[in-house]
Amino acid sequence: MKQTKTEGIEKLVEHQLGLWQTRRKISEERIRRETDPGRTLSFITLSRDAGNGGVAVAQGLAERLGWRVFDSEIVEYIAQRSSIHKDLIDTLDESARDFVTDAVMALVGAVEHREYGSSDYRQSLFSTMAIIAEHGEAVILGRGGSIVLEGFRGSLRVRLIAPLPVRVDRVAEELSISAPEAEKLVRQTDRERKVFIKKQFNRDIDDPCLYDLVINTAGMTSGEVVSLIWQAARIRNPGI
């Protein structure tokens, strides 16, 4: 019987939780990393406008680094299921758990007046991304990761942009639809992402100060974009 998309996400999350639980039992690595002021790169956040090949870039980058991609669907899946979220918290040692809790509560307090979602949902969403980042070796795609994890050590926050006509052409070709249809889809997706960031954080997704690296992908293949980010990652952590 064909596996549904939700079942696939569920199996991926269960597998990753198992790996993290095992890590916690056999190593105190997280304590050493948390108390190390020189902590090197351990996760990358990726923000993008529609039509920038974000999924392909995230997957290519994860393959290059030997890491795992956590996209918005996986993050939302964990955040909206309390039992899985509790298991995720339990993968952290006490020191890392205290750090994540303090960081998340500070961020929740800063955006408490925002309109989007409930406080419980917001806290769950933030802590899900924080825990993923704390474990490291992760490429976090979308969902405001660059803002949620702004104060975390070991990050490289990347934004992918390109002129609208370039992105429209890409989407039209990828989905085999007309240019007007592609433009409508691109504008709608861009608008939804802008609204989410504005309502959730009161920030502008296009603010370059939110990112360490902003790449204009016009005239570049996804492989070339991956190589550029990888080079930046190696500056942060020559050992990867």
Query: Tell me: the pLDDT tens digits for 100-118?
Result: 555 555 554 544 544 444 4
* Mean pLDDT value of segment 184-196: 94
The reply to whether 50 falls in a domain is yes
- Residue-level pLDDT at 116: 44
Q: How many domains does the chain have?
A: 1
The reply to whether 120 falls in a domain is yes
Do the beta carbons of residue 45 and residue 145 sit within 8 Å? yes
DSSP letter, residue 130 = H
Residue 65 domain boundaries = 42-234
The reply to whether 15 falls in a domain is no
Give the confidence band of 62 by pLDDT, cuts at 50, 70, 90: very high
Residues 240 and 231: their CA atoms lie apart, in Å, by 10
Do the beta carbons of residue 106 and residue 148 sit within 8 Å? no
Nearest to 205 by CA among 219, 191, 185: 191
How distant is the alpha carbon of residue 142 from its chain centre?
5
- Residue-level pLDDT at 31: 46
Do the beta carbons of residue 132 and residue 44 sit within 8 Å? no
- Residue-level pLDDT at 25: 47
Is the pLDDT at 13 greater than 50? The verdict is yes
- Residue-level pLDDT at 17: 59
Do the beta carbons of residue 201 and residue 147 sit within 8 Å? yes
CATH code (residue 193)? 3.40.50.300
For 128-177, what is each residue's pLDDT tens digit?
A: 788 888 888 899 998 888 988 887 778 899 999 999 999 999 999 999 99
Determine how many CB atoms are found less than 10 A away from the CB of residue 112: 9
The reply to whether 25 falls in a domain is no
The reply to whether 3 falls in a domain is no
Give the confidence band of 215 by pLDDT, cuts at 50, 70, 90: very high
Do the beta carbons of residue 223 and residue 59 sit within 8 Å? no
The reply to whether 121 falls in a domain is yes
Is the pLDDT at 81 greater than 60? The verdict is no
Contacts of 75 (CB under 8 A, 6+ apart): 125, 128, 129, 132, 140, 142, 143
The reply to whether 225 falls in a domain is yes
What are the beta bridge partners of residue 160? 48, 215
The reply to whether 217 falls in a domain is yes
Q: What percent of the chain has pLDDT over 70?
A: 64
Residues 15 and 158: their CA atoms lie apart, in Å, by 27
Is the pLDDT at 43 greater than 70? The verdict is yes
Give the confidence band of 47 by pLDDT, cuts at 50, 70, 90: very high
